[in-house]
Structure 1
């Protein structure tokens, strides 16, 4: 028996104690075992073929797509298991876009992907991850449901979408994923929002993240316009300026602002520029630099080794030291690595059913499988999913946009 199998047998009772029937608890173990051991797509058929033959396929389908067991207590059990073992240093909100054929899979809609410049048929979801030096792991998933799913009564009924689900923007979807985690687990750890793309409503993201009352960092793009509140850069004028212009001016001034700080990762990350700014919706004080304003934000650029694209971030942690900023934003790249090497391989994208509950049960069980893989330290032994790791590399638009985007029909 492998270490992974031993661990699954040992922890299964704890992870699935909330399921009311013993046959459901056994099937949950079987499903997670299928996610960890099947080859190719983690479809019901492939997992059944790996575990016990064709007769098991219908049982797996019914357990996830048609059953009524509540996934929320299972997700909480995963969190209770993992957070003491690998304490998070921050919460990472990461988007996952999965192109799909047809329109029957729950949540599929036409969506423009800035990274590819194309409109594709896709599912859009956000994962809430615990970013930890001991290993990153997902704790919750939220599917974005567009108006065409929620305003079509027949479609909504067929997918068994709850009455309380409403249409959301990507920012609203991400924030709801964070708030869905129990408050005692969230604590005061910073939020790292790495979702959407250049078309993201960053002002809305800042507004919603401020409302959580915890520190936050949100990925910014060169098209974003901000008002400079740094007295050393008054030459840029009082109006909104693009982040690209602001950071170019800061780097060109050669101010001794912040020294490069290594993070101890595979490649040293350095902070090359940082400027105090404000959203255009909030006026700059008449005397910039006269004192801290509650609306002040810090715009900064982080640079990682050769061949890596620069990252631009916006944060309310205006007085944080460079090492803290770099260490916290590095969590986003660590989550990307974990997604590619674990979550992708166990088939997080592979549910193609019509059921809203089925999608949530599948992703919750995938989180449980991810936890088992991480704890057993057998991540490198996971069979490949539908595409190779190389095929699922982040898009040039940045790892938080939709990376990795992989076709899944």
Structure 2
């Protein structure tokens, strides 16, 4: 039991670390654009590289989780993240920085997919609630990342030390991963059986709404995370510290929202909660694209985070409820779908910004959220009145 508790704590620490790491790109983007003389569209390639790496890592992690010792997977991924941050720190040219960011994204995809699948296996009777709680730590990392990056940018005046400083927590995570005991395959615990794969998942037509929902969620979150600071500084005239605090407010909303969702999902139908939250998020995201005082922007950012918080972990938990033996492939496939949204959305926003202004590019976010509400409605129609044995009967 102590070893299991230690693993669970480590899983939450890994998700915190990736929340921190993935939130660094938005605060450093203005400095990167200035250093290399890039347009918005060219700067969007930084996010595309991160998302492409994340998708590749998620696919690899989802497949490996069903077949290999999970401790070795976590060690390899942490080592890859450490090497990528070190390369970003020392990158003298933009193409090399793109390679480093893609490597970090790949390592992050393996890490998050592996710990997500393991969390789903540990808590089979309350997956949606447990995965929302797990993602609270992603939100915590997202709060810390912009604050640290903005402070370093102001103190040092460049983006490279942000990555240099971040080598330290990644090295600590690698040391802990090395110290873990081997983590048994679920198949080995249940008896001899063929390891499930992506083919088994794709043959299930009922998984398609979950994949589409994850795609739209990724487009929304990463479009917001990657462009929000630049939007606030360029279009709304905020100082970098104020813009960084506002992005941290969005992450704070994600954190608070996942804490709330982890409780709500024990009492209400997850699909219905997701419908109303997505619709409300669409309205708030649209409001963010208009003129507001700085404090109002902070409040709207927090509100958007709260409403959007439970989308991905709830979709993941519901999908695992429909195919519990496919936990690894489901974690990989939905994470890849989210990564695909995160790959396309920031680049499209950058291209629209080049042609029509960044405010119009940011209006793609409420469009994606409105579509997500429609997908959530389709998922909700398939859910029973009581979502699982951990819920209170009506």
Same fold? TM cut 0.5 = no
* TM-score, scaled to structure 2: 0.29
TM-score, scaled to structure 1: 0.28
